[in-house]
Every structure is written in structure tokens, then in C-alpha cells.
């Protein structure tokens, strides 16, 4: 015949906490069960009766009562477990990196997940998990242009310095042009593919409807953009655009204008004489990517209608103007994250970057 279970010692604070667990609707069921066991032990119930009411084994009641007597409420939580032994350990990581140092398989230009898995005779999912964990994108590519001129490094440092340390007293404006925005007109609609999916369809034959030159000035601190599209006299239009941008600027602030290399040199010299507070900074050869407005050009190229046939250049101009107006209110400044401008992080193998 089983006797009563010894009543463990319990503070009022611990008892209140146990009652909160029992009443909770979000607590794990196993914690609720353990709290009920302890509360019934505190009420003086026998082990056999507690096990019958809660539908657990008597040994379970004894175990959690012992844990509570020894560690209090903390004893009701699960102990850390070692878990399942790792199958893909540090040696697997090392084998994957060693494979990436080898020449790719015959017929491939670079390694990919299935090729690595086949070479190591392992799971391709394990290879992909490791690559994702290490942040390795084998198919993604990046390229950049580095100038060989001696003036590249000082000019790049000068321009990037304005991006990173613009003040209230200085205004930084990035100016550039995007020439020859062609407008193609071709039939567009919807087609049904072999798999039964519906997709956008375009005919390969098209008609040229002229082109535009887009001039843009980006105030980097506020990401405020001014754009103008012209279809003739590119040089004269660009000079006029520069004059319009400088005419409305405050005279009590230093204005730093970032221009592409060799852009309207004559007009720059005239502006220096007219506006003493305006300072022009030109990029080095092959350094046009240092102008932040180039980033905006990349955003613009992916947003407006590119494939839909527009009837005229005027329609293209309107589409660009609508896009600029729509992007203005929610625009945020670009964050300059390029840490290297000379390509010194180009390595021969992935392992050289991840070890």
C-alpha cells in the first residue's frame, strides 16, 4: 500500500508561479503537466492518486518531485541535450572548400552544388545548406572597373569622402546623363505555355520610335532627384540642365558637384567663375560608377515599362516623369557600402575568403 508523498518545501512565490503555469494557455503542455504534479504533491496527494488523475506513471511523479525538491522551479525545465550527432562536421566543410580549389568538372565553367555533391559522393542538400550558411553564391557574379590612372585613388577618396561625411553646410549633388534611351514599339499580350501557365508575350519584330537623353541631378543627402529628358543637342541640353540646377541653389552653402570624367569642361570653368561656392569634382577614367546617380539609373531601368510598346518618344518621356514623381516622396538616401575600390579582395579560391 503506497503512502502519501512527502510534501516538498515551497515558497509562496514559487507556488504562485506554478499556478500561473497551470492557468496559462500558451505554456508548453509538458510544463503544465509538471506544474500540476508539484501542486498536487504540495496538496498532500499520494503518488498513486496523482499518477492516476494525471494519467502518468508513478515514477514520473517521483522524478519531478525530486527535481523540484532539489532545484525548485528551475528543476522543472528540460536539461540541455547533446542532440543528434552531426553528420556534416568541420571535415565536411573542409572537403567542400578543398573541392572548390580544384578545376571544375569537364564541360562546366565553375562548380555548383550538384557537381560538388557528386565529387564528394554526398547529399546535394547538405552542400547547399553549407553554402547558404557560409554565404557562398557560386552562380552569382560581380564585376567592377578599376582605373589604372595615378589620379584614381585620390579622386575616389575625395568623392567617397563627400558621400560619407556630408554636413549641413555642404550640399553634395551627383550629376550625370543616361544617353540613347530607345523606344521600341512591338506587339505585346499574353500567351499560354506548354505547361499551361499564362505569361506575358512579346513579338520579336519591333519598330524604332526614336530615343531620349536623360539628364539627372541627385542630391545625395536627401535623395532628391531632378531629371530632364531631351531628344536633341545633347551637349547644349546638358549645359542648360547644369545651369538650371545651379541657379536655384543657396549662395551661403558650399556646393560639391560630382561629374563624370570630361563632362562639359568648358561649362565647368564658366560656372566656377560665376558661382564661387560651387566646387566640381570629376571622376577618374573608368570611374563613372563613383557617381551615385548611376545607382539611380540602375533602379530606373528596372521599374518603368521597358517592353510594352509605347507609341512615341513623348510617351517614353511621360513614363519617366511619372516614375520620378512617384519615387520622390518615399526615396531614401543611398548608403555607400563599397569598401574596396582597387579590386584587392579578388582571390583565387572561396576558401581564401572564408578561412
Which of the four pLDDT bands, split at 50, 70 and 90, describes residue 35? very high
pLDDT score for 1: 46
What is the tally of structural domains in the chain? 3
Q: What is the spatial distance between Cα 313 and Cα 341, in angstroms, rounded to a whole number?
A: 38
Are 200 and 288 members of one domain?
Answer: yes
d(CA 295, CA 250): 26
Based on the domain organization, do 61 and 191 belong to the same domain? Answer: no
30 plus 110 within the same structural domain: no
Given a cut of 60, whether residue 233 has pLDDT beyond it is no
Look at residue 310 and tell me if it is in a domain: yes
- Alpha-carbon Rg for the chain in angstroms: 34
In a domain, 199, yes or no: yes
In this predicted structure, the answer to whether residue 2 has a pLDDT above a threshold of 60 is no
Q: Measured between alpha carbons, how far is 220 from 32 in angstroms, rounded to an integer?
A: 57
Kindly state whether residues 176 and 301 are assigned to the same domain: yes
C-alpha pair distances (Å), 266 with each of 54, 156, 228, 262, 291: 91, 23, 21, 10, 20
Tell whether 198 and 251 lie within a shared domain.
Answer: yes
Do 199 and 285 reside in the same domain of the chain?
Answer: yes
SS3 153: helix
Q: Are both 100 and 198 inside the same structural domain?
A: no
- Please report whether residue 141 resides in a domain: no
Q: Where are the alpha helices (DSSP H) in the chain?
A: 12-23, 29-42, 47-54, 58-71, 90-100, 113-120, 124-134, 152-164, 234-247, 265-274, 293-302, 313-327, 351-354
User: What's residue 234's pLDDT?
Assistant: 61
Average pLDDT, the chain: 79
Considering the domain architecture, whether residues 32 and 103 belong to the same structural domain is answered as: no
Give the percent of the chain with pLDDT over 70: 77
CA distance to 24, 94, 278, per residue, from 202 (Å):
59, 48, 48
**Is residue 42 a contact partner of residue 6, using CB atoms and an 8 Å limit?**
no
The answer to whether residue 5 is domain-embedded is no
Question: Could you list the residue range(s) of the whole structural domain that residue 254 is in?
Answer: 152-327
- Determine the Cα angle at 339 with ends 297 and 135, to 5°: 90
Model pLDDT for residues 169-200, shown as the tens digit of each residue: 678 888 887 776 655 566 777 888 888 889 87
The answer to whether the beta carbons of residues 261 and 283 sit under 8 Å apart is: yes
Structural domain includes residue 353: no
Model pLDDT for residues 76-93, shown as the tens digit of each residue: 988 888 777 777 888 999
User: Is 261 in the same domain as 306?
Assistant: yes
| Residues 45 and 98 grouped into a single domain | no
pTM above 0.75, yes or no: no
Question: 164 and 67: one domain?
Answer: no
Question: Would you say residue 259 lies in a domain?
Answer: yes
Query: Each residue of 97-130: pLDDT tens digit?
Result: 999 999 999 888 889 999 999 999 999 999 999 9
Q: Is the dihedral of CA 323, 327, 333, 336 positive or negative?
A: negative
Same domain, 316 and 229: yes
Residue 186: what pLDDT? 63
Amino acid at each position: 500500500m503506497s503512502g502519501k508523498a512527502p510534501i516538498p518545501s515551497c515558497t509562496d512565490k514559487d507556488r504562485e508561479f506554478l499556478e500561473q503555469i497551470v492557468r496559462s494557455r500558451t505554456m508548453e503542455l509538458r510544463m503544465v503537466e509538471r506544474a500540476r504534479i508539484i501542486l498536487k504533491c504540495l496538496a498532500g496527494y499520494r503518488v498513486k492518486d496523482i499518477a492516476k488523475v494525471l494519467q502518468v506513471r508513478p515514477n514520473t511523479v517521483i522524478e519531478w518531485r525530486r527535481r523540484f525538491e532539489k532545484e525548485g522551479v528551475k528543476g522543472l525545465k528540460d536539461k540541455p541535450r547533446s542532440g543528434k550527432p552531426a553528420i556534416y562536421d568541420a571535415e565536411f566543410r573542409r572537403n567542400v572548400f578543398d573541392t572548390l580549389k580544384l578545376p571544375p568538372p569537364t564541360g562546366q565553367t565553375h562548380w555548383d552544388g550538384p557537381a560538388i555533391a557528386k565529387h564528394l559522393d554526398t547529399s546535394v542538400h547538405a552542400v547547399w545548406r553549407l553554402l547558404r550558411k557560409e554565404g557562398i553564391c557560386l552562380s552569382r557574379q560581380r564585376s567592377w572597373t578599376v582605373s589604372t590612372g595615378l589620379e584614381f585613388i585620390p579622386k575616389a577618396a575625395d568623392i567617397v569622402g563627400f558621400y560619407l561625411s556630408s554636413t549641413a553646410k555642404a550640399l553634395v549633388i551627383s550629376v550625370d546623363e543616361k544617353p540613347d534611351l530607345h523606344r521600341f514599339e512591338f506587339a505585346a499580350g499574353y500567351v499560354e505555355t506548354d505547361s499551361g501557365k499564362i505569361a506575358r508575350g512579346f513579338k520579336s519584330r519591333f519598330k524604332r520610335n526614336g530615343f531620349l537623353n536623360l539628364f539627372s541631378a541627385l542630391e545625395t543627402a536627401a535623395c532628391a532627384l531632378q531629371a530632364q529628358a531631351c531628344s536633341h543637342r545633347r551637349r547644349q541640353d546638358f549645359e542648360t540642365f547644369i545651369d538650371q540646377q545651379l541657379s536655384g541653389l543657396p549662395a551661403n552653402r558650399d556646393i560639391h558637384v560630382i561629374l563624370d570624367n570630361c563632362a562639359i569642361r568648358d561649362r565647368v570653368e564658366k560656372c566656377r567663375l560665376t558661382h564661387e561656392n560651387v566646387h566640381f569634382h570629376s571622376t577618374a577614367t573608368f570611374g563613372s560608377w563613383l557617381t551615385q546617380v548611376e545607382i539611380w539609373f540602375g533602379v530606373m531601368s528596372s521599374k518603368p515599362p521597358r517592353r510594352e510598346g509605347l507609341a512615341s518618344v513623348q510617351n517614353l518621356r511621360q513614363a519617366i516623369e511619372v516614375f520620378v514623381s512617384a519615387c520622390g516622396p518615399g526615396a531614401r538616401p543611398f548608403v555607400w557600402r563599397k569598401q574596396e575600390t582597387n579590386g584587392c579582395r579578388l582571390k583565387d579560391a572561396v576558401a581564401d575568403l572564408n578561412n
